[in-house]
Amino acid sequence: MLALLLLTGLLGLSFFWQPSSAQSGSLPPAFPASVSVSSPPTAPADYFHLQKKIYRWSDQTRLVLVHISTPTHLSGWQPWHPQLIKDAFAEWQRALQNRIMFVFMPDTSQADMVVNWWPVSTPAIERGAAGINMMSTWGKYIAKNDLFLSLNDQYGQPHSPGMLYATALHEIGHSLGIQGHSDQPTDIMYFSVNERSRLSPRDVNTMLKIYAAKPDFTNPPGFHLSRFADFQKTQQKSGFRIPIMIPIPL
Ligand SMILES: [Zn+2]
């Protein structure tokens, strides 16, 4: 669903990134790489039980092709944004022990997933939302996946690097298959995140269980979504009943 910017107070300010002349414009700025969090002792080691259906990428295909758009004309855009998002994908890849590997593509026509940017929250997403993931299914297949991240908050202030990173981790978590939200605020997949939120052991355990489970929805093995239009035509010719693409906003 939606990642909301909640933390604004002294605690948040202590992590706020200030530009410095020593920093290169092409590199992501420094921010707290990880914050050790511990779930309440009573919390289970994962929240897999909250998953109703299993949506996940084929580990036979293994490679997921990602395009990160670069809207240099948008207010708040910074040249280090793509690297920040690549780092978030890399963190999930490590958590998944390389069962799924991300490859970054130069254009959308070759991509399974596209990372889009919005200047601020738009009517398409709830006011104040920092990100959203849209997965579409076609029958039992994942047919399309788009992530949307907003560059600025609802007041037009640029999101801090930590907030963008946390939002990207959350939305990538949805794009990899976590449905709904965790019930613990210490997890990145809780319904709201702040700029200190990072992957927790519960997030990692849940994702590993999803990738150990039989999928209800996946991409066909060895198949990338850029070929989906051709695939649909082939299925139609063979008399396959055409399901409607169903977008699932998360
Ligand atoms: Zn969400």
Residue 87 sits in a domain of what CATH number?
3.40.390.10
- Is residue 150 in a domain? yes
- Is residue 206 in a domain? yes
> Please, are residues 151 and 117 in contact by the beta-carbon 8 Å criterion?
yes
Q: What is the reported pLDDT for 35?
A: 52
Of 248, 245, 209, nearest to 47 (Cα)?
A: 209
139 CA distance to ligand 1 centroid (A)?
23
- Is residue 81 in a domain? yes
- Is residue 179 in a domain? yes
User: Identity (one letter) of the amino acid at 96?
Assistant: L
Comparison of pLDDT for 26 and 201, the residue scoring more:
201
When mean pLDDT is compared across 33-42, 48-57, 102-111, the lowest value belongs to: 33-42
Q: What is the reported pLDDT for 10?
A: 22
147 CA distance to ligand 1 centroid (A)?
11
> Please, are residues 179 and 173 in contact by the beta-carbon 8 Å criterion?
no
Phi, psi of 150 (to 5 degrees): -95, 140
Q: What is the reported pLDDT for 143?
A: 82
Q: What is the mean pLDDT of the chain?
A: 79
pTM check: above 0.85: no
When mean pLDDT is compared across 11-25, 26-40, 166-180, 231-245, the lowest value belongs to: 11-25
102 CA distance to ligand 1 centroid (A)?
21
113 CA distance to ligand 1 centroid (A)?
17
> Please, are residues 197 and 190 in contact by the beta-carbon 8 Å criterion?
yes
Comparison of pLDDT for 29 and 191, the residue scoring more:
191
71 CA distance to ligand 1 centroid (A)?
23
- Is residue 134 in a domain? yes
Cα–Cα distances in angstroms (integers) from residue 37 to residues 21, 27, 128, 202, 206, in the given order? 32, 27, 25, 10, 16
193 CA distance to ligand 1 centroid (A)?
9
129 CA distance to ligand 1 centroid (A)?
10
pLDDT tens column, 123-152: 555 555 788 898 888 888 888 899 999 999
Q: What is the reported pLDDT for 98?
A: 95
Q: What is the reported pLDDT for 215?
A: 95
> Please, are residues 54 and 216 in contact by the beta-carbon 8 Å criterion?
yes
Domain that includes residue 56, residue range: 46-240
Phi, psi of 143 (to 5 degrees): -110, -20
- Is residue 247 in a domain? no
Q: pLDDT band for 12, please (50, 70, 90 cuts).
A: very low
- Is residue 133 in a domain? yes
30 CA distance to ligand 1 centroid (A)?
25
Neighbours of 240 (CB within 10 A): 12
- Is residue 157 in a domain? yes
Does the pLDDT at position 65 exceed 90? Answer: yes
Neighbours of 146 (CB within 10 A): 18
In whole angstroms, give the CA distance from residue 184 to residue 191.
Answer: 9
Number of compact structural domains in the chain = 1
When mean pLDDT is compared across 15-19, 187-191, 200-204, 243-247, the lowest value belongs to: 15-19
Q: What is the reported pLDDT for 14?
A: 24
User: Identity (one letter) of the amino acid at 48?
Assistant: F
